[in-house]
Amino acid sequence: MTEPKIETVLTSDLITLEEPPAEKEATIEFLLDQAVEAGRVTDRETALEALLAREAETTTGVGMGIGIPHAKTDAVSEPTVVFARSSTGVDFDAMDGEPATLLFMLLVPAEGGEEHLELLSSLSRALMHDDVRDRLHEAESKAAIEETITEAVA
């Protein structure tokens, strides 16, 4: 399988400029609802169970103000990335103790194991760069966010 292109997994309808809730589980549901509204999730409850089960295994707070809740589930029709940012930060139990202000939810079909890892790896590598994180914090439109992520992952 080839890695899905970021442009197909993160579209403007999967980017929100709305402030997410302050608590981790509520934030996960908030991000999931973006995917549901975009028509990417076939069964919200199953997807939520998969996300919360993954979260219970180990934190998805990767540090540097980034949270990447993710799951493989039959409840999603295609690889999907949802993006939101928090002005106050959400506690994702990151190793560095910093709250997550840049939030990415990654959902892939259950049989998409390799895609999932490749996409997570590409996204994580891109987010290690200070300038990418700064641009995401400063972006004033969905288009600017989409462009920043697309360029960074490419």
List residues bridging with 61 in a β-sheet: 67
116 is catalytic: no
Ranges assigned E (strand) in the chain: 61-63, 66-67, 70-72, 80-90, 100-108
Please report, in angstroms and rounded to a whole number, the separation of the first and last CA atoms in the chain: 18
Cβ neighbours of residue 1 under 8 Å, at least 6 residues apart?
112, 114, 115
Instruction: State how beta strands 66-67 and 61-63 pair.
Output: antiparallel
As a residue count, the chain comes to 154
Catalytic residue among 70, 116, 129, 137: 70
| Helix/strand number for the chain, H first, E second | 6, 5
| Contacts with 45 (C-beta within 8 Å, 6 or more apart), sequence order | 75
Catalytic residue list = 70
